[in-house]
A and B are shown apart, each in its own frame.
Chain A
Amino acid sequence: MFLTNSGCIFTFFMIIQACVTGKSGTTYKQNPQEISLNDIYRPQYVSNHKKSNKIKRKPNCLKAYNSIVRPLKTLAFHLEKNKTDKIDRKLKALIQIEKSQCENQPHLSKSQRQLAKNFDQHSRKIGIVLPLSDPDYQHSRSILKGLVTVLNSGSDKSSRPYVIKDSGGGRKQTLSGLADLLLNHKVGMIIGGVNELDAKLLTSWAAKLAVPLFLLNKDDKYVDESRFVFQVFPRAKLLGQTLAYASLKNSYSNVAILRPHSGKSDRQIDGFKEFMKNRGGNIIHEISYRENEYESMDQAIRKLFELDDETRKGELVQLQRLALQEAKARGSQELKTPILPPRISFDAVFIPDHFRAVRHFVRIFRFHGASKIPLLGNHEWRSKDLVFPKEPFLNGSMFVDFVGDYQNTPTKLEIKPLKTSSLLVDPEQVVDYDYRLIGYFVGKLAKDVVMTHTGKRRQLASLLEVSPSAFLKYQPVSAFSQDRKSHWPAYIFKVDSNQIILDQKIDSIESY
């Protein structure tokens, strides 16, 4: 009840209010303190706004025109010609307001205000914008599968609660689709932004028109653009933090990191380091290597084990002497090559790379004389090939992932775990499954928010603050962290007796 009430207060009138106070939707970016993410999630924030809304001032006509009508005109311009007629009468009337009308009236008329309010009404449908026809984003089809699986469930086929737009044709197509979703279908929320172009466009329009956007982009920078933007993609940094949490729990407080040169794991590493730093852990080494280059990987391990360290020259000379003595004792002239033992000054090594690199690293570790080192890894470790053929060195190692047991995934997603382990799937399918699951969870969240709440579109954004009860059992305590970034749960897996086992699900690392 509280949610509903507070939501009602936080309406599209915010736009109007912004016009009144001289602060448009985009001014939010310039003054984040005013409507910060934390504020959104704080109940007192709602109450604060409750107070501010009580200030009754008529909206300035010109400002309202610039912040509402003009963007709508622009959006309508992108509509395909055959779809312009479908815009409802009231919205048409709002779009048809001309700037010149403000010359005669300093404030919006009552009817005009009514028209503006009407735009914020949504149809309880969800707009999906995905680059489906772009061959570079094949996985958007997997996301769509997850989305439609959940959105179709329990609904009549004839009244599908979502509208799909393909953004694969570029900017024009994205805008055209977005215009159709907002002007004709009046969707309550947009899901999309897989690629950078979509993410930018959708973020921009979500901010302009106060439309909640579930952004499916792995980059979480867009949430800073608008409080209507929610990053719903699993977060690499969070996984890194969770792994650091698990590492510390296992008393691996001195950790070395092998960093892939491509930078693909930088966010995870950053999260890992940040957490370790804040919680008293130490990063002993951080060594970069070029993936798929043996020499580079070998050099990284030599550095890690301090095999070429100048300070070890004396040690090497000593070994050479011993070899000489031994050869003399054997009566042989053949000297055994002295090999420096590895110097291991850390508790574990974090290798945020795929299992193949891990397997090769293990062999290089062993080549340089290390028989056992606990290793830490990421979601790319999760393959049968990590432990097959058997690799005893890995026993006791652990890695983090954002997907738990595949056995527990919704059957309609048609995710098939391997017969030999419900924790593993066909490697050719794994990415498809990842995106299906992402699509499914995002769809579930969107459905719970949009379809169960009538009224103003703007209102929906505030619902997300406290909607975790709507989520599936796979969902964390809260769907988003305070900065509107997804709050996926993380799972810690361990390698034990040459098998991958699910060690624990970590919903929150805050309690550590």
Chain B
Amino acid sequence: MMLMLAVVAWLSALGVFNSHENVLKSLLSWQLPENTVVFDRDGKRLGELYRKDHMYYSIDRIPKFLKQSVIAIEDRSFLEHKGFDLKAIVRASLVELSIIDSKYRQGGSTITQQVIRHFLLGKEKSLHRKVQEIGLAYELEKLTEKDKILEIYLNTMYLGNGAYGVGAAAKRYFARPLDRLLPHEHAVIAGLFQSPSRFNPVRHPTRAKKRQLQVLAALETSNVITHDEFEKLKQAKLRYRRFRNVKSLRAPYFVDYVQMQAAKILGTTLDQLRVKGLKIYTTLDLKMQRRAKKAFRASSVFLKAERRAESIVKEGVEEKPDVEGALLTIDSKTGEILTMIGGRNYGRSQFNRATQALRSPGSAFKPIVFAAALSKGRKWSDVSYVSPISVGDHYRPRNVGSVSLTETTLLRAFYKSLNTVTVELAEKVGLEYVLRMAAKFGVRSHLKKELGTAIGGSDVNLLDLARVYSVFANQGVLTDLYAIEKIVGPTGRVIFQAKPKIKRSKRVLDEELNFLMVQGMRDVLRHGTGFDQRKLAKWVAGKTGTSDKAVDNWFCGFSDNLTTIVWVGTDQHTPISGHSNGAVLALPLWSDFMSNEIKLKAPKEFEVPAGVVEFKIDPRFGTKSPTGVSMWFLRNNPPSSRVSGLERVNRLGSFRNVFD
């Protein structure tokens, strides 16, 4: 009697007699966290976002054979017991104590107990925990049906390889939906519940096979299958597939970017976003992304850069750093991000160089300076002298190749990318004005208030440059970039829709001035640093960029509808020696990709607005010359009819040589 009272008191202290209805109801109302799925612009899946990889299957969609297999191996009397199985507990204890032997080990816990443990109690092993578990299992069985408990069990238990539940396991081990698996494969999955890592079929196929046979034997014992069927299923071949998330195959960097953007839009954390079961429809063009990726992989620039990259010393060992790259393409008219490659190998590095890396743009920043100058009344034909300059006390920018003792028009300085002229121009136009212009063009990275910024002294990212160059491509209008078209909630309700284009657009530069800049950037290809790709100059325009010692190599350019930015460099900001620059390391890749896109999209030539005029101008001296290069001017600010003595001096070596 005393013993009975003591047990009752102990059980009471454990709370066995307390009602746990509320806790258990919350367990039953628990919603399986659904993965958030990202789609491209055509509705093709780009990837899934999740905290744990779940794929919810209602009990009626789960194949019967799988259910039977799980019950047979995990809890043979599941359909009979009231939450716990005394026989099974005793049997398990005896097996544990080696008093009896068993063909296959079966734990003492029922499926209901396992659910209770998984959701409410954790993995602690103690007597009082076991008692609590039994009590709660019993209570749960009273509250709900067996099917519900089984559904929860099958959908939530960890089955290895990152899969939670049988649906995710089917995807991760067999790369097929659950309802397309065959019975012998169901048996494999059923065998995973006991020890997912031990029986992981991909890592340990032999163990997995052995476990499958145990499951099949249990099924035979339970009379679910006959011996013949057992033999047949035993012989059936198992073919596993190594799981590769679709996200890492198609546009992993873009998907990462999208989830960050979506979290920002919805004001939620990444973790929360991943389990909301959202459908995120993006602007990415998967076909174009594939072409970009192909061009990226096939490009020889990386090989070239790797050969030339200067070694770094890492833990006392000299080694060559990995050369990385990034590519970003947007629709200049709409601001839609169409392709994004944030690095050469997502598996190796998930750092997104297209959106996260801040790098020196080098001369790729110059169009902003020249646009500022043109907007202040300067003309392409304005002449400057070229020689080393000294700005302030200590800033002495250099021209690449030590170009000095020459003269140049602004246009030539632009397409030849002369640093000294650009710095002087920024000084004359006013640095503040240039910085304001950069902000108007959509540069959001912090720009230093020093003249070096004019030639790329302040770091920016690819998105900044994509905005800048899309303005030029879009007749002077900035249409802000976006990657997410809409977000649909789990119920099918649209919870976010991108603003219409008109609300995201604002004019940055007059159409006419913009056209002058576009022509200037076409000249980069026709006469300047991009001369190697002059064949494209009819359709595209752009600017090379190289930071000091070719640490960063850029080509930023556009056709009438696409703006593409390419960067090549190392994450360690190490120099790339030899004759390396944007034209050598970034432009070829840009060209490989864009020339293909041009063919596919049949781009138009850049439209000529009414308020501009074209003249043939000597590129060095700014005088009208039939053999000069084409320069465009505002109709109300044409080139002066100025004659140049410089041209004469250059030609004859003297000016008024009456005494020579």
Binary per-residue interface labels of chain A (272-302) against chain B in the complex, 1 for a CB within 8 Å, 0 otherwise? 0000000000000000000111100100000
**Cβ 8 A contact of B654, one of A264, A359, A385, A389:** A264
Nearest residue, chain B, Cβ from A236: B659
Closest to B647 in A: A427
- Chain A positions near chain B (C-beta within 8 angstroms): 218, 234, 236, 262, 264-265, 267-268, 291-294, 297, 336-337, 339, 354-356, 359-360, 363-364, 366-369, 379-380, 382-385, 388-389, 426-428, 430-431, 434-435, 438
B394 contacts A234, C-beta separation under 8 Å: no
Does B387 touch A at the CB level, under 8 Å?
Answer: yes
Interface pair A264/B646, CB less than 8 Å apart: no
Q: With A354-B649, A367-B388, A427-B648 in contact, do A380 and B382 touch (Cβ < 8 Å)? A: no
Q: In the docked arrangement, what's the CA distance between A435 and B655, Å?
A: 14
The answer to whether A385 touches B646, judged by C-beta atoms less than 8 angstroms apart, is yes
Judging by beta carbons under 8 Å apart, are A292 and B660 in contact?
no
Are the C-beta atoms of A367 and B655 separated by less than 8 Å? no
Chain B residues near A389: list those with CB within 8 A: 382-384
25 pairs from A and B in contact (CB 8 Å cutoff)? A234-B659, A262-B660, A265-B659, A294-B405, A339-B394, A354-B654, A354-B656, A355-B655, A356-B649, A356-B655, A359-B385, A360-B387, A367-B396, A369-B390, A379-B656, A380-B656, A384-B645, A385-B383, A385-B645, A388-B383, A389-B383, A428-B648, A431-B657, A434-B656, A435-B658
B390 — which chain A residues lie within 8 A by C-beta? 339, 366-369
Which residues on B sit within 8 Å (CB–CB) of A379? 656, 658
A292, A339, A356 — most chain B CB neighbours (10 Å): A356
B642 at the interface (CB under 8 A from A): yes
Give Cα distance in the complex from A438 to B390, angstroms: 44
Question: Could you tell me the dominant secondary structure of chain B's interface residues?
Answer: loop
Give complex CA distance A435, B396 in Å: 44
- Would A426 and B643 count as touching, CB distance under 8 A? yes
A441 to B646, CA, bound (A): 29
- With a 10 A CB-CB cut-off, give which of B385, B404, B659 has the most chain A CB atoms: B659
With contacts A356-B649, A360-B405, A389-B384 known, is A264 near B655, CB below 8 A? no
Tell me, rounded to whole Å, the shortest Cβ–Cβ distance linking A193 to chain B. 15
Please name all residues of chain A whose beta carbon is closer than 8 Å to the beta carbon of B646 when the two chains form the complex: 356, 385
Nearest CB of chain A from residue B109's CB, rounded to whole Å: 63
B:348-388 near A, CB below 8 Å: 382-385, 387-388
Q: Does B389 contact A (CB under 8 A)?
A: yes
With the chains together, A359 CA to B57 CA distance in Å?
81
Q: How far is the CA of A337 from the CA of B644 in the complex (A)?
A: 38
CB of B393 within 8 A of chain A?
A: yes
Q: Which residue of A lies closest to B655 (CB)?
A: A354
Give the distance in Å from the alpha carbon of A180 to the alpha carbon of B631 in the complex. 57
Q: Please, which residues of chain A bring their CB within 8 A of the CB of B385?
A: 359-360, 363
Expressed in whole angstroms, the minimum distance between the Cβ of B160 and any Cβ of chain A is: 52
Q: Assuming A339-B394, A354-B645, A380-B655, what are 4 further A-B pairs, CB within 8 angstroms? A: A294-B404, A385-B644, A428-B643, A431-B658
Given the interface pairs A354-B649, A366-B390, the reply to whether A293 lies near B405 with Cβ below 8 Å is yes
Closest to B407 in A: A356
Bound complex: CA A292 to CA B405 (Å) = 7
Contacts A339-B394, A383-B645, A385-B645; A431 near B656 (Cβ below 8 A): yes
Residues of A within 8 A of B659 (CB): 218, 234, 236, 264-265, 267-268
In the bound complex, residues from chain A placing their C-beta under 8 Å from that of B405 are 292-294, 297, 360
Q: Is the CB of B389 within 8 A of A356?
A: no
B653 within 8 A of A: yes
From residue B655, how far is it (CB to closest CB) to chain A in Å? Answer: 4
Q: Give Cα A241–Cα B120 distance, bound, in whole angstroms.
A: 108
What are the interface flags for B260-299 relative to A under an 8 Å C-beta threshold, 1 for contact and 0 otherwise?
0000000000000000000000000000000000000000
Q: Are B658 and A383 in contact (CB under 8 A)?
A: no
Chain B residues, Cβ within 8 Å of A234: 658-659
**A265 surroundings in chain B (CB, below 8 A):** 659
- A427 in contact with B655 given A292-B405, A336-B394 (CB within 8 Å): yes
B645 touches A427 (CB 8 A): yes
- Whether B387 and A383, one on each chain, are in contact in the complex, defined by CB atoms closer than 8 angstroms, is no
Cα distance, A430 to B382, chains bound together (Å): 23
Give the docked Cα–Cα distance between A366 and B420 (Å).
Answer: 13
Q: Assess whether A264 is in contact with B657, with CB atoms less than 8 Å apart.
A: yes
Complex formed: what's the CA distance from A307 to B575 in Å? 32
Bound: A291/B649 CA distance, A? 12
Which residue, of B383, B644, B649, B655, has the highest number of chain A Cβ atoms within 10 A?
A: B655
* Inter-chain contacts of B649 with A (CB < 8 A): 354-356
